[in-house]
Amino acid sequence: MANDESRISKGIANRAVAPAVLSGIRTPGECAEDTSPYSIRASSFFRHSTFGIRHLVNPMRILSGIQPSGPLHIGNYFGMMQPAIALQAEGEALYFIADYHALTTLRDAETLRVNSHRVALDFLACGLDPERATLFRHSDVPQVTELAWILSTVAPMGLLERATSYKDKLARGMSANVGLFSYPILMAADILIYDSDVVPVGKDQKQHIEITRDLAVKMNETFGQVFKLPEARIRAATETVPGIDGQKMSKSYGNNIDIFGDEKETRKRVMSIVTDSTPVEAPKDSERSTIVQLYSLFASKDELANMKERFKKGGTGYGDFKKELFEKLWEYLAPMRKRREEILRDKSYIDNVLARGAKHANEIANQVMQRVRAAVGLR
């Protein structure tokens, strides 16, 4: 799988979808790891007009989703949102609030509504540009549930039984509802219904994208060329952002530092990062330190090198390093907090963005569903 920054910023064109049948054209040298006969590639990306204006021609389509299951944290930001925001300049980006998915764990209607609105607000505040990217609510495209049903009819049980995120959730004591089990099928539908090329996500979603590809292959083998094969885009440096206890940052582990947490709470969380008991004067190991890992997300190269040097030298306590981390983090997030305040002043802004997004997402999904229904014999 592609997993470095250069791949994120490189415009890879692989969109060439004929309405009923997909014809395979491969871009030489691109996506070398993808050797599937089902993969569709086209070399056209930008066309230069006589006036020198770049037009997107068959741009790569980028898609990702985020669950509205609580406030967004810096693991979400560096693992998915920042790469997704960077990609909005590289092709046609579609990002959605995965409210159908959140239903597998959230059982309070008002909380779901509030969270969904808040995810839209936070994503926009972090830099999602609705003039470039389409932002919409999952449930505004209910056709995905139809596609999920169709995919479920070709999905082997074993494929889902092997899904680690399901097994993890069970291990953490969640009750096994069918929705939780078949979550990867709905996620596959989310991706395939937009003929997506690239899916920016954190590492924990890698297996879900592999399942998506398996299901697309299965459909293509059964019904002819129906789907393109999407590719996960995982940024190596931030594929798993650690939480304050050093494990993967996650709302459900309670080890999160939120992007828009208030100052006091954010400081408190940073100050409670778990460390070992090395005394102040002793040299410290920067390689395995959560403080350093988090600092590297916010600091410049020089600042990071300087902190690592002082770890090695000894004489500075973890508490002081944590204070530095907090200051850097707080300063880094300041422009986003400002933008968030601005968005909040316009009461109808978010609803308008989501309504426009829903319209565009539906246009694409309806086209793809026509192709799918025809392929399986429903029309």
| Nearest distance in Å: CB 308, ligand TRP | 31
Nearer to ligand TRP, 64 or 88 (CB): 64
Instruction: State the greatest distance between any 2 C-alpha atoms of the chain, in Å, as a whole number.
Output: 74
| Nearest distance in Å: CB 237, ligand TRP | 19
Where on the phi/psi map is residue 228: left (φ > 0), alpha (ψ -120 to 50), or beta? Answer: beta
Helix axes 178-192, 206-223, angle to 10 degrees: 70
Nearer to ligand TRP, 185 or 307 (CB): 185
- Regarding 87 and contact with ligand AMP (CB under 6 A), the answer is no
Helix axes 206-223, 164-171, angle to 10 degrees: 130
- Regarding 75 and contact with ligand AMP (CB under 6 A), the answer is yes
- Interface pick for ligand AMP out of 8, 13, 80, 292 (rule CB under 6 A): 80
Which single residue is written with the structure tokens 């300049």? Answer: 89
E-assigned strand segments in the chain: 46-48, 54-56, 61-66, 92-97, 133-137, 198-200, 231-233
Contact 24, 40 (CB under 8 A): yes
- Interface pick for ligand AMP out of 59, 79, 91, 261 (rule CB under 6 A): 79
- Regarding 119 and contact with ligand TRP (CB under 6 A), the answer is no
- Interface pick for ligand TRP out of 31, 72, 201, 259 (rule CB under 6 A): 201
| Nearest distance in Å: CB 312, ligand TRP | 36
Neighbours of 190 (CB within 10 A): 27
Q: Could you give the CA distance from residue 250 to residue 253 in angstroms, rounded to a whole number?
A: 5
| Nearest distance in Å: CB 93, ligand TRP | 12
What residue ranges bind ligand TRP (CB under 6 A)? Answer: 63-67, 98, 101, 187, 190-191, 199, 201, 205, 208
What residue ranges bind ligand AMP (CB under 6 A)? Answer: 66-67, 75-76, 79-80, 201-202, 204-205, 238, 240-241, 248-250
